Amino acid sequence: MHPSTEDLLSIRDGEPVDAVVAERACDAAHEQEIERLRKTRDALRRLPELAPPEGAWAAIEAAERETRARGNPWLRRVAGIGVAAAVAAVAIALLGLPSHPRGPVVLAPAPQGDDTSTTLDTPDLTSSIIGAAPIYDTDRLLAGRVVPTSYPALVQESARLDRALRRLSYQRPMMSGGTATTIAGLEDRIALLDEQITYGNARGVPQPQRNALWGERVELMNALVHVRYAQAQPTGF
Amino acid sequence: MPNPLPQLDSAVLARAQHGDRNAHAEIYGLFATSVFTLARRMLASRALAEDVLQDTFVEVIRKVGSYRGDAEFGFWVKRIAINKCLMHLRSSWVSRRDGDGDEKVGLLPARAAGIDDQIALERALDELTDTGRIVVWLHDVEGHTHGEIGRMMGRTASFSKSQLARAHERLRSLLGGEPVKDGTNELCTPALKTC
């Protein structure tokens, strides 16, 4: 029976191992491997600590205040109006989007030397939501109304929206049939896009088309985050 | 052993338990770095680590009143952070995202960054599977036993052991060690003639 990495790790950590295995691990080569495992562990422990981002405490305080505000009935009633407004606005906005990607999304060219972003001419959903709902870390959730144009920026923006959505998805309040339909429609279209993106990656689809797919994903994710954001606000009854 | 956690003054704790905002800020100041480091190392994503940092301290503030001192305060805070990290990794959104590799756009393989051992190790750690990375960090750095890790992840101690072994094999491969062969006898490489 030869010592496995699992056995050598147990020896490194002073845990009991089979006597035969322990004996076989006593040769120079295995001792060298145990020493390497020990050095790796020590190096992991020496990795530097990482400072949290500036302003994180302010965001935490705001989030904590928002959590407490959820118990406030007046704020909940005001937020209820915001949900309806946001869903209506997103539904209207979606009428202007293609139901599936047919070709490159036409975006204005980025300025010379700046491949990061171009603002899309979309309805101002942010103001309709923020105007009626209590503030819930809005800078982080709703700052993304600018759609990037470069491939890495599109992918990263999509990831940012995924994170925002995931945070909102922790709360699952009751919703109306209209809201549920809007959300389901958006999620279906995003799922379809994800399949197309995966297929495109596997088949080496040209970069402009991949950019277009990611661009549409960012738009749909933006819409979904807006609806989810409004929906996550506590509603009054 | 892992770095010792800062000690929380009992007067600060008492004030925090009575809702004192300044005491909450002091707690954040004491533990934010260790929570953020833990989350960043476990999740291999700065953005997710920021989410965990926020979620952790919101919960710490909400629950500090119920803290009874059964465990050291720092461990209590870290345990909340670990649970938040595990919750993130169980999320289906994270699973979907993994396939896109979006967090690793532009990330060079660890071998290419070999000039600085520490950077190479950080990058190799990020390249591990989520489960492998978490087990390595919780066991080798945070000092949790395989039994504890298994319970936290809803699995067994054996699961934790095998994940740790696989992760170390992967680290060895990423850091330029001998190539790892599949199978149970991973160490049977030309460099280890005794196998």
Residue B5: CATH number of its domain:
1.10.1740.10
Asked whether the beta carbons of residue A60 and residue B99 sit closer than 8 angstroms, the reply is: no
DSSP letters, B82-122, are HHHHHHHHH-HHHHHHHHHTGGGTTPPPGGGGTTSHHHHHH
pTM of the entire structure?
0.58
Token readout for B139 is 């066991």
Chain B residues with CB under 8 Å of A49 CB are: 3, 33-34, 37
B93 and B165 in a common domain: no
In a domain, B187, yes or no: no
For an interface test with B, which of A32, A163, A172, A187 has the most B Cβ atoms less than 10 Å from its Cβ? Answer: A163
Checking phi first, is residue A113 left (phi over 0); if not, alpha (psi -120 to 50) or beta? left
Same-domain status, B24 and B42: yes
Question: What pLDDT sits at residue B21?
Answer: 94
Question: Domain ends where: B49, B67, B100?
Answer: B100
Could you report the per-residue pLDDT of A119-135, keeping only the tens digit for each? 333 333 333 333 333 33
- Asked if B161 lies within 8 A of A6 by C-beta distance, the reply is yes
Residue numbers in A near B99 (CB within 8 A)? 198
Alpha-carbon gap, residue A171 to A177, rounded angstroms: 17
**Tens-digit pLDDT profile for residues B12-54:** 999 999 999 999 999 999 999 999 999 999 999 888 899 899 9
In a domain, B43, yes or no: yes
Q: Count structural domains, chain B.
A: 2
Stretch 23-82 of chain B: residues touching chain A, C-beta under 8 Å: 24-25, 28, 32-37, 40-41, 47-51, 53-54, 57-58, 61-62
B33 and A51: CB-CB below 8 Å? yes
pLDDT value of position A185: 79
Residue B192 forms part of a structural domain = no
Which pLDDT value is given to residue A88? 63
Mean pLDDT by 10 residues, chain A (237 residues): 87 86 82 92 93 89 79 56 60 54 38 39 34 38 58 80 71 62 79 77 79 86 81 55
In the three-class reduction of DSSP (H, G, I as helix; E, B as strand; rest coil), residue A118 is classed as strand
B11 and B84 in a common domain: yes
State whether B6 and B69 are in the same domain: yes
A50/B contact by beta carbon, under 8 A: yes
Whether residues B18 and B70 share a domain: the answer is yes
For residue A103, the tally of other CB atoms under 10 A from its CB is 9
In-domain check, residue B155: yes
* Cα pseudo-dihedral B12, B16, B19, B25, rounded to 10: 90
What residue in B sits closest to A140 (Cα-Cα)? B51
Q: How far is A121 from chain B (nearest CA, A)?
A: 26
pLDDT score of A141: 46
Is A166's CB within 8 Å of B125's CB?
A: no
Asked if the Cβ–Cβ distance from A44 to B184 is below 8 Å, we say no
The pLDDT of residue A84 is 59
Strand partners, A146: A119
Residue A155 CA to residue A148 CA, distance in Å, equals 9
Helix (H) or strand (E) holding A147: strand A146-147
Measure the CA–CA gap between A228 and A168, rounded to whole angstroms. Answer: 6
- Are residue B159 and residue B89 in the same domain, yes or no? no
**Is A61 an 8 Å CB contact of chain B?**
yes
**Are B87 and B142 within one domain?**
no
The minimum CA-CA distance between B109 and chain A, rounded to whole Å, is 17
CB contact under 8 A, B100 and A197: yes
Domain end point (choices B100, B130, B150): B100
What are the extents of the domains in chain A? 5-46, 56-232
Task: Give me the residue from B47, B118, B187 closest to A163, CB to CB.
Answer: B47
Nearby residues of A201 by Cβ (< 8 Å), 6 or more positions away: A210
Domain range for B159: 109-176
- The answer on B87 and B12 residing in a single domain is yes
Among B45, B65, B100, the domain boundary falls at B100
Residues B95, B31 share a domain:
yes
- In terms of pLDDT, which residue wins out, A24 or B120? B120
Q: Does residue B3 form part of some domain? A: yes
